[in-house]
Amino acid sequence: MNRSFKSFVIPIALFCLVILFSWQWAKVLERPAAAINLGPPISVAGDEPIEPIPITAELNQEKVALGNQLFHEPRLSRDNTISCASCHDLNKGGTDQRAFPIGIDSQEGFLNAPTVLNNSFHFRQFWDGRARSLQDQIEGPIHASHEMDSNWPEIISKLKQSPEYVQAFKQIYADNINSDHIKDAIAIFENSLFTPNSRFDRFLRGDTNALTNNEKEGYRRFKAYGCVSCHQGILLGGNMFQKFGVFGDYFKDRGNITEADLGRFNVTGQEEDRYAFKVPSLRNIELTAPYFHDGTAETLDEAVKVMIKYQLGREVNQQDIDLIIQFLTTLTGEFEGSSP
Protein backbone atom coordinates (compact mmCIF):
# COMPACT_ATOMS: atom_id res chain seq x y z
CA MET A 1 0.00 0.00 0.00
CA ASN A 2 1.65 3.23 -1.14
CA ARG A 3 1.82 6.36 0.97
CA SER A 4 -0.75 8.30 -1.07
CA PHE A 5 -3.32 5.56 -0.73
CA LYS A 6 -2.82 5.40 3.06
CA SER A 7 -3.18 9.12 3.36
CA PHE A 8 -6.54 8.84 1.61
CA VAL A 9 -7.99 5.73 3.32
CA ILE A 10 -7.00 6.26 6.92
CA PRO A 11 -8.81 9.62 7.41
CA ILE A 12 -11.94 8.16 5.81
CA ALA A 13 -11.79 5.13 8.11
CA LEU A 14 -11.37 7.33 11.17
CA PHE A 15 -14.25 9.51 10.05
CA CYS A 16 -16.48 6.45 9.68
CA LEU A 17 -15.52 5.22 13.15
CA VAL A 18 -16.40 8.59 14.65
CA ILE A 19 -19.79 8.55 12.91
CA LEU A 20 -20.45 4.98 14.09
CA PHE A 21 -19.48 5.80 17.69
CA SER A 22 -21.63 8.95 17.69
CA TRP A 23 -24.61 7.00 16.40
CA GLN A 24 -24.21 4.29 19.03
CA TRP A 25 -23.85 6.88 21.81
CA ALA A 26 -26.97 8.67 20.62
CA LYS A 27 -28.87 5.38 20.90
CA VAL A 28 -27.63 4.98 24.47
CA LEU A 29 -28.83 8.45 25.37
CA GLU A 30 -32.24 7.68 23.91
CA ARG A 31 -32.72 4.78 26.29
CA PRO A 32 -34.87 5.30 29.41
CA ALA A 33 -32.92 6.55 32.42
CA ALA A 34 -33.93 3.53 34.47
CA ALA A 35 -35.65 0.46 33.15
CA ILE A 36 -38.52 -0.62 35.36
CA ASN A 37 -40.70 -3.69 35.49
CA LEU A 38 -44.27 -2.47 35.52
CA GLY A 39 -45.66 -5.91 36.16
CA PRO A 40 -48.77 -7.28 34.48
CA PRO A 41 -51.61 -4.92 33.49
CA ILE A 42 -54.14 -4.32 36.27
CA SER A 43 -57.66 -5.39 35.42
CA VAL A 44 -58.99 -6.44 38.82
CA ALA A 45 -57.89 -5.68 42.37
CA GLY A 46 -55.68 -8.35 43.85
CA ASP A 47 -53.60 -8.47 47.02
CA GLU A 48 -53.19 -4.71 47.29
CA PRO A 49 -51.08 -2.66 49.75
CA ILE A 50 -53.95 -0.17 50.04
CA GLU A 51 -57.19 -0.68 51.98
CA PRO A 52 -60.55 0.97 51.33
CA ILE A 53 -61.95 3.43 53.86
CA PRO A 54 -64.85 1.94 55.86
CA ILE A 55 -68.27 2.90 54.55
CA THR A 56 -69.75 3.72 57.96
CA ALA A 57 -68.65 4.48 61.53
CA GLU A 58 -70.54 4.09 64.78
CA LEU A 59 -70.36 7.48 66.50
CA ASN A 60 -72.32 9.30 69.18
CA GLN A 61 -74.28 11.71 67.03
CA GLU A 62 -74.94 14.12 69.88
CA LYS A 63 -71.19 14.47 70.38
CA VAL A 64 -70.72 14.82 66.61
CA ALA A 65 -73.20 17.70 66.53
CA LEU A 66 -71.62 19.44 69.53
CA GLY A 67 -68.14 18.88 68.11
CA ASN A 68 -69.24 20.33 64.79
CA GLN A 69 -70.41 23.48 66.56
CA LEU A 70 -67.16 23.74 68.51
CA PHE A 71 -65.08 23.09 65.38
CA HIS A 72 -66.65 26.18 63.84
CA GLU A 73 -66.55 28.23 67.07
CA PRO A 74 -64.32 31.35 66.83
CA ARG A 75 -64.54 31.85 70.58
CA LEU A 76 -61.88 29.16 70.90
CA SER A 77 -59.40 31.86 69.84
CA ARG A 78 -58.21 34.75 72.00
CA ASP A 79 -59.79 37.47 69.86
CA ASN A 80 -62.84 35.46 68.74
CA THR A 81 -61.81 35.50 65.07
CA ILE A 82 -60.30 32.05 64.35
CA SER A 83 -61.96 28.64 64.54
CA CYS A 84 -60.67 25.20 63.63
CA ALA A 85 -62.59 25.56 60.37
CA SER A 86 -60.66 28.72 59.49
CA CYS A 87 -57.67 26.58 58.53
CA HIS A 88 -59.59 23.37 57.83
CA ASP A 89 -62.47 24.44 55.62
CA LEU A 90 -64.69 21.45 54.90
CA ASN A 91 -65.70 23.09 51.62
CA LYS A 92 -62.05 23.15 50.53
CA GLY A 93 -61.08 19.55 51.12
CA GLY A 94 -60.49 20.18 54.82
CA THR A 95 -57.73 22.74 54.16
CA ASP A 96 -57.45 26.49 53.60
CA GLN A 97 -55.72 26.01 50.20
CA ARG A 98 -52.92 28.32 51.29
CA ALA A 99 -49.19 27.61 51.59
CA PHE A 100 -49.38 28.65 55.26
CA PRO A 101 -52.47 29.26 57.40
CA ILE A 102 -53.43 32.61 58.89
CA GLY A 103 -54.01 32.88 62.64
CA ILE A 104 -55.06 35.71 64.93
CA ASP A 105 -53.78 39.20 64.19
CA SER A 106 -53.22 38.05 60.59
CA GLN A 107 -50.13 36.06 61.62
CA GLU A 108 -48.90 33.56 59.07
CA GLY A 109 -48.04 30.04 60.21
CA PHE A 110 -44.86 28.08 59.55
CA LEU A 111 -46.26 24.85 58.10
CA ASN A 112 -48.92 24.00 55.56
CA ALA A 113 -52.24 23.10 57.19
CA PRO A 114 -52.95 19.46 56.28
CA THR A 115 -56.49 18.30 55.55
CA VAL A 116 -58.65 17.38 58.51
CA LEU A 117 -60.54 14.81 56.42
CA ASN A 118 -59.81 11.22 57.49
CA ASN A 119 -57.66 12.61 60.30
CA SER A 120 -58.73 9.85 62.69
CA PHE A 121 -56.90 7.21 60.61
CA HIS A 122 -53.45 8.82 61.04
CA PHE A 123 -51.06 7.07 63.40
CA ARG A 124 -49.83 10.43 64.71
CA GLN A 125 -50.94 14.05 64.38
CA PHE A 126 -49.03 17.07 62.99
CA TRP A 127 -46.30 16.93 60.36
CA ASP A 128 -43.74 16.06 63.04
CA GLY A 129 -46.01 13.53 64.76
CA ARG A 130 -45.74 15.15 68.17
CA ALA A 131 -49.36 14.39 69.10
CA ARG A 132 -50.50 10.80 69.53
CA SER A 133 -54.24 11.47 69.43
CA LEU A 134 -56.78 13.93 68.07
CA GLN A 135 -57.39 15.15 71.61
CA ASP A 136 -53.68 15.91 72.04
CA GLN A 137 -53.58 17.60 68.65
CA ILE A 138 -56.28 20.08 69.67
CA GLU A 139 -53.97 21.47 72.35
CA GLY A 140 -51.55 22.68 69.67
CA PRO A 141 -53.56 25.32 67.79
CA ILE A 142 -55.43 26.38 70.95
CA HIS A 143 -52.21 27.52 72.63
CA ALA A 144 -50.02 28.46 69.65
CA SER A 145 -49.43 32.22 69.68
CA HIS A 146 -49.63 32.46 65.88
CA GLU A 147 -52.83 30.38 65.65
CA MET A 148 -55.55 30.77 68.34
CA ASP A 149 -53.34 32.05 71.17
CA SER A 150 -55.84 31.11 73.87
CA ASN A 151 -56.08 28.91 76.97
CA TRP A 152 -58.68 26.65 78.53
CA PRO A 153 -59.82 28.88 81.43
CA GLU A 154 -60.48 31.70 78.96
CA ILE A 155 -62.30 29.42 76.51
CA ILE A 156 -64.40 27.76 79.18
CA SER A 157 -65.38 31.16 80.63
CA LYS A 158 -66.59 32.33 77.22
CA LEU A 159 -68.52 29.12 76.46
CA LYS A 160 -70.23 29.19 79.86
CA GLN A 161 -71.79 32.51 78.85
CA SER A 162 -73.81 30.55 76.27
CA PRO A 163 -76.89 28.80 77.76
CA GLU A 164 -76.95 26.53 74.69
CA TYR A 165 -73.43 25.25 75.34
CA VAL A 166 -74.09 24.83 79.08
CA GLN A 167 -77.19 22.77 78.37
CA ALA A 168 -75.51 20.68 75.66
CA PHE A 169 -72.55 19.71 77.87
CA LYS A 170 -74.82 18.82 80.78
CA GLN A 171 -77.04 16.72 78.52
CA ILE A 172 -74.21 14.85 76.81
CA TYR A 173 -71.55 14.65 79.52
CA ALA A 174 -73.70 15.13 82.65
CA ASP A 175 -71.11 17.65 83.75
CA ASN A 176 -70.04 21.25 83.42
CA ILE A 177 -68.00 22.51 80.48
CA ASN A 178 -64.34 21.49 80.79
CA SER A 179 -61.36 21.08 78.48
CA ASP A 180 -61.53 17.27 78.33
CA HIS A 181 -65.14 17.35 77.18
CA ILE A 182 -64.44 20.09 74.62
CA LYS A 183 -61.56 18.08 73.16
CA ASP A 184 -63.61 14.88 73.21
CA ALA A 185 -66.51 16.44 71.30
CA ILE A 186 -64.22 17.97 68.65
CA ALA A 187 -62.33 14.69 68.28
CA ILE A 188 -65.56 12.71 67.84
CA PHE A 189 -66.67 15.19 65.20
CA GLU A 190 -63.32 14.80 63.42
CA ASN A 191 -63.88 11.03 63.49
CA SER A 192 -66.99 11.68 61.41
CA LEU A 193 -64.96 13.47 58.71
CA PHE A 194 -64.06 10.35 56.75
CA THR A 195 -64.49 10.12 52.99
CA PRO A 196 -65.41 6.59 51.88
CA ASN A 197 -66.46 5.15 48.55
CA SER A 198 -63.90 6.79 46.28
CA ARG A 199 -63.75 5.26 42.82
CA PHE A 200 -60.50 3.57 43.80
CA ASP A 201 -62.15 2.12 46.92
CA ARG A 202 -64.95 0.77 44.76
CA PHE A 203 -62.31 -0.81 42.52
CA LEU A 204 -60.65 -2.39 45.58
CA ARG A 205 -64.02 -3.80 46.58
CA GLY A 206 -64.41 -5.52 43.22
CA ASP A 207 -65.96 -2.98 40.84
CA THR A 208 -63.63 -3.47 37.86
CA ASN A 209 -65.34 -0.66 35.93
CA ALA A 210 -64.79 1.95 38.66
CA LEU A 211 -61.47 2.97 37.05
CA THR A 212 -60.63 3.70 33.45
CA ASN A 213 -57.81 1.83 31.74
CA ASN A 214 -55.57 4.89 32.07
CA GLU A 215 -56.29 5.14 35.79
CA LYS A 216 -55.45 1.47 36.24
CA GLU A 217 -52.22 2.04 34.32
CA GLY A 218 -51.49 4.99 36.61
CA TYR A 219 -51.94 2.76 39.64
CA ARG A 220 -49.64 0.16 38.09
CA ARG A 221 -46.93 2.81 37.71
CA PHE A 222 -47.63 4.18 41.19
CA LYS A 223 -46.69 0.77 42.54
CA ALA A 224 -43.92 -0.06 40.10
CA TYR A 225 -41.96 3.16 40.58
CA GLY A 226 -42.10 2.77 44.37
CA CYS A 227 -44.57 5.47 45.42
CA VAL A 228 -46.49 2.80 47.31
CA SER A 229 -43.53 2.08 49.60
CA CYS A 230 -44.53 5.13 51.67
CA HIS A 231 -48.06 5.77 50.44
CA GLN A 232 -49.91 2.62 51.43
CA GLY A 233 -52.47 1.47 53.98
CA ILE A 234 -55.92 2.95 54.40
CA LEU A 235 -54.77 6.55 53.79
CA LEU A 236 -52.03 5.93 51.23
CA GLY A 237 -49.81 7.51 53.86
CA GLY A 238 -50.29 8.75 57.40
CA ASN A 239 -48.71 5.68 59.01
CA MET A 240 -44.96 6.34 59.01
CA PHE A 241 -42.23 8.97 59.04
CA GLN A 242 -39.89 9.53 56.11
CA LYS A 243 -37.02 11.87 55.35
CA PHE A 244 -37.79 14.52 52.73
CA GLY A 245 -34.86 14.13 50.37
CA VAL A 246 -33.85 10.47 50.29
CA PHE A 247 -32.08 10.75 46.91
CA GLY A 248 -31.20 14.43 46.90
CA ASP A 249 -30.87 17.46 49.14
CA TYR A 250 -34.30 19.01 48.72
CA PHE A 251 -33.72 21.71 51.32
CA LYS A 252 -30.36 22.80 49.94
CA ASP A 253 -31.88 23.05 46.48
CA ARG A 254 -34.91 24.96 47.78
CA GLY A 255 -32.90 27.21 50.10
CA ASN A 256 -33.97 29.34 53.08
CA ILE A 257 -34.10 26.46 55.58
CA THR A 258 -36.21 27.21 58.66
CA GLU A 259 -36.74 25.49 62.00
CA ALA A 260 -40.03 24.11 60.70
CA ASP A 261 -38.09 22.26 57.98
CA LEU A 262 -36.31 20.15 60.61
CA GLY A 263 -39.48 18.09 61.03
CA ARG A 264 -39.37 15.18 63.45
CA PHE A 265 -35.95 16.35 64.69
CA ASN A 266 -37.72 19.14 66.59
CA VAL A 267 -39.51 16.46 68.64
CA THR A 268 -36.81 13.83 69.21
CA GLY A 269 -33.52 15.70 68.82
CA GLN A 270 -32.22 12.62 66.99
CA GLU A 271 -30.04 13.36 63.97
CA GLU A 272 -31.70 10.61 61.93
CA ASP A 273 -34.99 12.49 62.29
CA ARG A 274 -33.69 15.70 60.72
CA TYR A 275 -35.93 16.63 57.75
CA ALA A 276 -38.24 13.67 58.50
CA PHE A 277 -42.00 14.17 58.39
CA LYS A 278 -45.13 12.12 58.69
CA VAL A 279 -45.92 10.83 55.22
CA PRO A 280 -49.08 12.71 54.18
CA SER A 281 -52.23 10.95 53.11
CA LEU A 282 -53.06 11.00 49.41
CA ARG A 283 -56.80 10.74 50.02
CA ASN A 284 -58.66 13.60 48.28
CA ILE A 285 -55.28 14.85 47.09
CA GLU A 286 -56.70 16.69 44.07
CA LEU A 287 -58.56 19.00 46.49
CA THR A 288 -55.76 19.90 48.89
CA ALA A 289 -53.18 21.94 46.95
CA PRO A 290 -50.67 23.39 47.64
CA TYR A 291 -48.62 20.37 48.71
CA PHE A 292 -45.83 19.40 51.15
CA HIS A 293 -45.14 20.79 54.61
CA ASP A 294 -43.84 23.99 53.03
CA GLY A 295 -46.67 24.41 50.54
CA THR A 296 -44.23 24.85 47.66
CA ALA A 297 -45.87 22.53 45.11
CA GLU A 298 -48.88 24.27 43.63
CA THR A 299 -50.00 21.44 41.34
CA LEU A 300 -50.11 17.66 41.40
CA ASP A 301 -47.80 17.59 38.40
CA GLU A 302 -45.18 19.56 40.31
CA ALA A 303 -45.64 17.50 43.47
CA VAL A 304 -45.26 14.17 41.67
CA LYS A 305 -42.09 15.35 39.91
CA VAL A 306 -40.53 16.50 43.19
CA MET A 307 -41.36 13.18 44.84
CA ILE A 308 -39.95 11.18 41.95
CA LYS A 309 -36.72 13.19 42.01
CA TYR A 310 -36.04 13.45 45.74
CA GLN A 311 -37.78 10.39 47.18
CA LEU A 312 -37.33 7.82 44.40
CA GLY A 313 -34.23 9.09 42.61
CA ARG A 314 -35.72 8.32 39.21
CA GLU A 315 -36.35 10.02 35.91
CA VAL A 316 -39.87 9.40 34.70
CA ASN A 317 -41.38 10.46 31.40
CA GLN A 318 -44.31 12.88 31.32
CA GLN A 319 -46.70 10.24 30.04
CA ASP A 320 -46.17 8.10 33.14
CA ILE A 321 -46.51 11.15 35.39
CA ASP A 322 -49.82 12.00 33.73
CA LEU A 323 -51.04 8.44 34.27
CA ILE A 324 -50.08 8.53 37.95
CA ILE A 325 -51.98 11.80 38.37
CA GLN A 326 -55.03 10.26 36.72
CA PHE A 327 -54.86 7.49 39.32
CA LEU A 328 -54.53 10.03 42.16
CA THR A 329 -57.77 11.72 41.12
CA THR A 330 -59.62 8.46 41.81
CA LEU A 331 -58.83 8.86 45.54
CA THR A 332 -61.46 11.57 46.08
CA GLY A 333 -64.11 10.08 48.34
CA GLU A 334 -67.59 10.97 49.42
CA PHE A 335 -68.28 13.36 52.29
CA GLU A 336 -71.71 13.33 53.87
CA GLY A 337 -72.99 11.43 50.87
CA SER A 338 -71.30 13.46 48.14
CA SER A 339 -67.81 14.30 46.96
CA PRO A 340 -65.96 16.73 49.31
Fold of 61-191: Cytochrome Bc1 Complex; Chain D, domain 2 (1.10.760)
334 assigned to active site: no
220 and 42 Cβ atoms separated by less than 8 Å = yes
pLDDT, tens digit, for every residue of 233-279? Answer: 999 999 999 999 999 999 999 999 999 999 999 999 999 999 999 99
At 325 the pLDDT is 98
Bridge partners (DSSP) listed for residue 89: 95
Confidence check: pLDDT of 39 > 60: yes
Task: Report how far residue 10's alpha carbon sits from residue 15's, in angstroms, rounded to the nearest whole number.
Answer: 9
At 336 the pLDDT is 78
- Residue 292 buriedness (CB in 10 A; 0-12 / 13-18 / 19+): buried
Write down the pTM of the prediction: 0.88
Set 73, 147, 190, 217: catalytic member: 147
Confidence check: pLDDT of 135 > 70: yes
pLDDT bin (cut points 50, 70, 90) of residue 44 is: confident
Q: Where are the alpha helices (DSSP H) in the chain?
A: 3-30, 61-71, 84-87, 134-143, 152-160, 163-173, 179-191, 199-204, 213-224, 250-254, 265-268, 300-307, 318-328
Q: Which CATH architecture has domain 199-240+279-331?
A: Orthogonal Bundle (1.10)
pLDDT bin (cut points 50, 70, 90) of residue 316 is: very high
Confidence check: pLDDT of 157 > 70: yes
Q: Residue ranges per domain, the chain?
A: 61-191, 199-240+279-331
Confidence check: pLDDT of 21 > 90: no
53 and 195 Cβ atoms separated by less than 8 Å = yes
Q: Do domains 61-191 and 199-240+279-331 have the same CATH topology?
A: yes
149 and 160 Cβ atoms separated by less than 8 Å = no
Task: Report how far residue 15's alpha carbon sits from residue 184's, in angstroms, rounded to the nearest whole number.
Answer: 80
- Residue 21 buriedness (CB in 10 A; 0-12 / 13-18 / 19+): exposed
